Amino acid sequence: MSAHISSEPIASGPARRKPVTPPDIAGRKGGEPIVCLTAYTTPVARMVDDHCDVVLVGDSVGMVLHGLPSTLGVTLDMMIMHAQAVRRGVRHALVVVDMPFGSYEESPAQAFRNAARIMAETDCAAVKIEGGVAMAETIRFLVARGVPVMAHVGLTPQAVNAFGGYVVQGRGEDAGRVLADAQAVSDAGAFAVVLEKITAPLADRITCDVAIPTIGIGASPACDGQILVVDDVLGLFQDFRPRFVKRYAELGADADTAIAAYAADVRARRFPAAEHLFDAPSPTGEPA
């Protein structure tokens, strides 16, 4: 006797979105813009995961959370620790982890050892490497061995000393260098490339010329996607306002007001009040 198969739909909870993969991002070239933000902690990762396609654990963590003057002091262990925290909070977005300064430049073999460690210890799906023509061989080496790579050209913060500061790249004759860098990482197999702090016309040209999606930060709205540091978006730093950042909140000012109110309450003995205490006497004299 055959079993009866009901035609009624099976009840289920909310559909869980499919996790984003590097091929998914590569396939977005010329399509719906790719939304990217940084995250360094589990709570922030949970918030941005609902809205982003890519969550980058950037080496900017050194400046944003650790107070370093640049990204150069960030270590592999620091990146792994923060990437583990972010990965715990992400269910949908593609988690990409920056390879810090000194962890990949020596040789493709060094880059693979450290990229493999990052992926194994954090469960991230891709790494990001700064540099263009000079890093093409390394990118090709990693991709051939199963490590998806997001590239990063233009202003590369790990080379800030060579650039003489955080200055706009790609002006005048320098445009050819940045264009060559972008083409080289595309040809080497990167699935996307970050274009940082370059002129808008150059970003437009690169976006048209290269086969992989471009992710702009201080570049152009014509890029295939955009990325910002989440702390900048939220306005957590009151005295840091780069031109390429749009603030969507002023949480730094709100936090300052809240902390000042807390301090005033403590000094005036208004906090803690009775409602914050255990076994405090009630107005009738009975324990609460």
pLDDT averaged per 10 residues, the chain (length 288)? 42 64 98 98 98 98 96 98 98 98 98 98 98 98 98 96 91 96 98 97 98 98 98 88 89 96 97 92 60
Which pLDDT belongs to residue 7?
43
Block residue for tokens 């955080």: 166
Among 23, 19, 49, CA closest to 37: 49
Q: Where are the alpha helices (DSSP H) in the chain?
A: 22-26, 42-49, 61-64, 76-89, 108-122, 136-144, 160-163, 174-188, 200-209, 230-233, 251-267
Is residue 137 part of the annotated active site? The answer reads: no
Is 128 annotated in a binding site? The answer is yes
**DSSP conformational letter for 192:** E
The tokens describing 138, both together, are 């390394």
Q: What is the DSSP letter of 76?
A: H
User: Which residues lie closer than 8 Å to 26 by C-beta, 6 or more apart?
Assistant: 191, 192, 212, 213
CB 101 within 8 A of CB 59: yes
Cα separation, 153 vs 158, in Å, equals 11
Catalytic position from the list 173, 196, 275, 286: 196
Residue 256 assigned as binding residue: no
Burial class (CB in 10 A: 0-12, 13-18, 19+), 9: exposed
Dig out the tokens for 48 from the structure.
């941005």
Q: Which domains does the chain have, with CATH numbers?
A: 22-249 (3.20.20.60), 250-288 (no CATH)
Neighbours of 60 (CB within 10 A): 21
CA–CA gap between residue 277 and residue 164 (Å, rounded):
56
Residue 119 token pair: 């992926």
Whether 59 has a binding-site annotation, put simply, is yes
- pLDDT of 91 reads 97
Q: Give the model's pLDDT for residue 288.
A: 54
The Cα–Cα gap between 164 and 169 comes to 11
